[in-house]
Amino acid sequence: MQEHPVLGQVALGYSPVIDRQRNVVATRLTVFPEQADGTPDAAALLRALAEVWPPEADGQPLRLRPHPLDPVPAGAAAKDAPLCLNLAGEAMLRAVAQAAPGPHLMLEVPAFMAADREFSARLAQLHEAGTVLVLKGQPLAPLPPELLGLFGHAIVEAGSERRAAPPVPPGLRKVTTVQAGAQGNAEVDAAFQRGAVAVLGWPWDEAQALTSSRASVPSDINTVMELINGVEREEPVARLEAVLRRDPTLAFRLMRYLNSPAFGLSVEINSFGHALMMLGHQRLKRWLALLLVSSAKGANCKPVMYAAVRRGLLMEELGRNQGDAETRGEMFICGVFSLLDRLLQQPLPELLRNVPVPERVQQALCDGGGPYGAPLALVRAIEQESRFDIRERAEPLLLGPAAVNRALLAALRAARQLDG
């Protein structure tokens, strides 16, 4: 990421927007002004975000799908997911709206601001330019049909009952519901049964304990675990390649990761032995960790895999200026494995008996201790989009807002490169 002074004026948090098939179809980025009465430079903020979510691709306007929350077409790349901006400040939202955010963004608008006559005129201009507007909260009075028709979606909190919306004039798309606050697969299923087109937020309860230890581990995950153990023991290349040959799909995915722009190698990796020669055992372990979490099966695993990859990349970025390559590699593995219990439906202490991890990683994963416990707590605060928790978790690490935000945007950009 380039140096953007505006990143020192805001606090950033993020969460996914998930469709019925459990695909992550958008990233929601919440932006808080660091000073309650401050108005960060809107144009500078949009320039910083454009490094992660560029407004154009191949010289053409980035038109993602006929409608951003329509189901993702077969074969569509996850990196095509748009950005949904939640600007936590009236002045900042007005400034960004004036700065022409572009059709590659979705913009959340609180209901009380939508009813403002002057601002609604600007909303009409944004709608005409292709920006997808998302209504947030319930208006005190029903919005006029022509104003309601500017919005593609409405965010509804779990447990809230929507007021009857006025009819939308012919030719305008019906406003669809994005459910916020659903926790657990049962609540997510219920949201879609009620007609939601998407669910906003992380569909699990972080505090919920997993007590079942009898879930079967798929064969491909056992294969990756065997590879990780083999690399840990520095077994001969021929032995490791023989393990990988059992599952050609795993071999393909590993090569795709290693040759992705996020990895930054100048030479194409064409075999496991080549990867080991180029990277060494320690660096290769981090990519096997990524392969492990991406091997989980089932639609409900997709948002967890999305989070695990980004946790690993964000942990690594947070340690970029505070440790050596070994430390950054351990922080990456710590972030990726922090959701391994959710993916495999087994308690972490049991899983870690079969997957070797450094002691400092085990401390953070099992009891939140050790040198990586505090960065992992900061990552969770960023995921929960809690401005005060982000600040509280960052201070002991001596990280200011600019450093935290640069790390987050760099991690999200690298994740998009991996996805593509």
Which tokens is 285 given? 């372990």
Interatomic CA distance for residues 241 and 106, integer angstroms = 45
Residue 364 half-sphere exposure, CB side, CA atoms within 13 Å?
26
Phi, psi at 282, each rounded to 5° = -65, -45
| Structure confidence by residue, pLDDT tens digits, 197-216 | 999 999 886 555 555 555 55
Question: Do 225 and 189 share a structural domain?
Answer: no
Interatomic CA distance for residues 282 and 7, integer angstroms = 33
Q: Looking at the domain assignment, is residue 31 inside a domain?
A: yes
Predicted pLDDT of residue 215: 54
On whether the CB atoms of residues 272 and 251 are closer than 8 A, the answer is: yes
Of 139, 173, 200, the one marking the end of a domain is 200
Question: Do 177 and 308 share a structural domain?
Answer: no
Question: Do 143 and 245 share a structural domain?
Answer: no
Residue count of the chain: 420
Predicted pLDDT of residue 288: 82
Answer yes or no: is pLDDT of 63 > 80: no
**Across 381-401, average pLDDT:** 96
Predicted pLDDT of residue 216: 59
Predicted pLDDT of residue 58: 37
Which tokens is 74 given? 């077969």
Q: What share of the chain has pLDDT > 90, as a percent? A: 44
**Across 34-43, average pLDDT:** 86
**Across 384-397, average pLDDT:** 96
Interatomic CA distance for residues 203 and 158, integer angstroms = 12
**Across 262-278, average pLDDT:** 76
Domain containing 370 equals 219-419
DSSP 270-304: -SHHHHHHHHHHHHHHHHHHHHHHTT--SGGGHHH
| Structure confidence by residue, pLDDT tens digits, 148-183 | 999 999 999 887 644 434 444 544 457 889 999 888
On whether the CB atoms of residues 134 and 151 are closer than 8 A, the answer is: yes
Question: Do 195 and 262 share a structural domain?
Answer: no
Q: Strand, helix or coil at 54? A: coil
Interatomic CA distance for residues 420 and 417, integer angstroms = 5
Q: Looking at the domain assignment, is residue 207 inside a domain?
A: no
Residue in the block written with tokens 């697969």: 185
Of 133, 168, 200, the one marking the end of a domain is 200
Q: What share of the chain has pLDDT > 70, as a percent? A: 85
CATH number, domain of 359, equals 1.10.3210.10
Q: Looking at the domain assignment, is residue 76 inside a domain?
A: yes
Predicted pLDDT of residue 353: 82
For 194-231, b/e burial (b = at least 16 CB within 10 A) is eebbbbbbbbbeeeeeeeeeeeeeeebbebbbbbbebb
Phi, psi at 386, each rounded to 5° = -110, 105
Q: Provide the whole-model pTM.
A: 0.86
Question: Do 243 and 138 share a structural domain?
Answer: no
Question: Do 252 and 178 share a structural domain?
Answer: no
Interatomic CA distance for residues 42 and 9, integer angstroms = 11
- Out of 206-215, 249-258, 309-318, least confident range: 206-215
Number of domains the chain is built from: 2
Q: Looking at the domain assignment, is residue 13 inside a domain?
A: yes
